[in-house]
Amino acid sequence: MTALCRYLAVAATFTSALAAQRIDTHIHALPPAYVKAVEAAGGDPSGYPSPNWTLEATIESMDLFETSVGILSLSTPGVPIAGTGEAARKLARELNDYFGAATTSASYANRLGFFGVLPDWQDVNGTLRELDYLYQEQKLCSGVTAYTTYGDKLPGDAAFAPIWARLQQYKALVFLHPGVLAVEPRFVGSGLLPQPIVDYPIATTRAAVDLVVTQTLRRCPNVDVILSHAGGALPFLVERAIGSLAVPEIAAKLTGGFDMAAARSDFARFYYDIALSTSDAQLHGLLDVADPERILFGSDFPYAPQFAINALMARYAAFVAKDPRGDKVSPEKLRANSLKVLRKHAIGKNAGKCKPGFENSL
């Protein structure tokens, strides 16, 4: 038996012992219309290959780890791959209708929800229109997906203030997913490594700090933001970001009484998923800076291939079973955290219920 086989055998034992009905808030979908749009644009600009995907395969992956509910979302590049015009607006609506139909169908209503799809935020009016559709007409999403950059703008850019105001109005849950960084050279390793490997965690870190320092998060007390992949490098850099506000030249630019204490309070508001982030170093770093009640489970299926998810779950299960702090991120705790935040942000007639049909499985 190879070392990997022995490792996975041990993992299977741990996972069985830790069996719980998980809720996966970082699980992706590639609907046909989206695949077509990415192909028409020349492929994923991150350099990462687009995986094959079906609803059936999603359920099969969930069943392997007793995941009862998955909240589907688009990974990067999302609808911005189609530009900022009417075609992109139509694509966003088509995808939201696809997700709405799929997650309320008899086959999947008790297993799947979705984060709503938005146009490129540089199309402010189109984004506002789609938010109104999601929250006033369709009323099915569990929140919305946003990206860490739009063109040359971070999400806290003043141009996006109307979007944050509308998110605040709807008390939205925002799943912040890393996006392509406009850097040169674009790929690490002389073109060998696509951006998700190294740059995506940095993108998440930059966006999170931006949302705090621009006071965007402070202006939206009813909005909660989930950071992907344990916050990227944020656990390592958050004290550096907070400490910088004591530098006189930086502090002089702060307004409204915003200071180090305010920044620390706002950083504490983030939620984090553990998709692709289950090593001891990652989990300890996350626990060092995050409230354990704000940590959620995520698999990153299908962008993480099943063999990778298996290995990552093995490490997670071993951490929970053996580490002194393992109980803080147990499957039961992460499930309870997800259930609480999803219920908090449920909309319309489904307020407090997560979404139609979830009551049977949550």
For residue 2, pLDDT over 90 is answered with no
* Average pLDDT estimate for 337-345: 96
Predicted confidence at residue 20, as pLDDT, reads 56
Q: Which residue has the tokens 């706002």?
A: 266
Above 80 in pLDDT, residue 86? yes
pLDDT of residue 18: 46
Residue 19 has pLDDT above 50, yes or no: no
Q: Do 88 and 332 contact (CB within 8 A), yes or no?
A: no
| % of the chain with per-residue pLDDT over 70 | 90
Quote the CA–CA distance of 190 and 244 in Å, as a whole number: 33
Q: List CB contacts of 167: < 8 A, sequence separation 6 or more.
A: 131, 144, 174, 220, 223
User: Is residue 4 scored above 60 in pLDDT?
Assistant: no
pLDDT computed for residue 195 by the predictor:
78
Domain-wise residue ranges, the chain = 23-354
Task: Identify the band that residue 241 occupies on the pLDDT scale cut at 50, 70 and 90.
Answer: very high
In the sheet with 67-73, reading across from the earlier edge strand, the strands are 22-28, 67-73, 112-114
Pick the CATH number of 23-354 from 3.20.20.140, 3.40.50.720, 3.40.930.10, 3.30.70.270: 3.20.20.140
Q: Where are the beta strands (DSSP E) in the chain?
A: 22-28, 67-73, 112-114, 144-147, 173-177, 224-227, 271-273, 295-296
**244/236 Cα distance (integer angstroms):** 14
pLDDT for res 358: 55
Entry field: residues in the chain:
362
pLDDT, greater one: 183 or 33: 33
Phi, psi of 269 (to 5 degrees): -80, -15
> Quick check: 360 pLDDT over 70?
no
pLDDT tens readout for residues 318-328: 999 999 999 99
Has residue 254 got a pLDDT over 80? yes
Instruction: Give the β-pairing of 224-227 and 144-147.
Output: unpaired
The pLDDT value recorded for residue 3 is 39
pLDDT at 223: 98
Amino acid 198: pLDDT: 82
Other Cβ atoms closer than 10 A to 170: 18
For residue 24, pLDDT beyond 80: yes
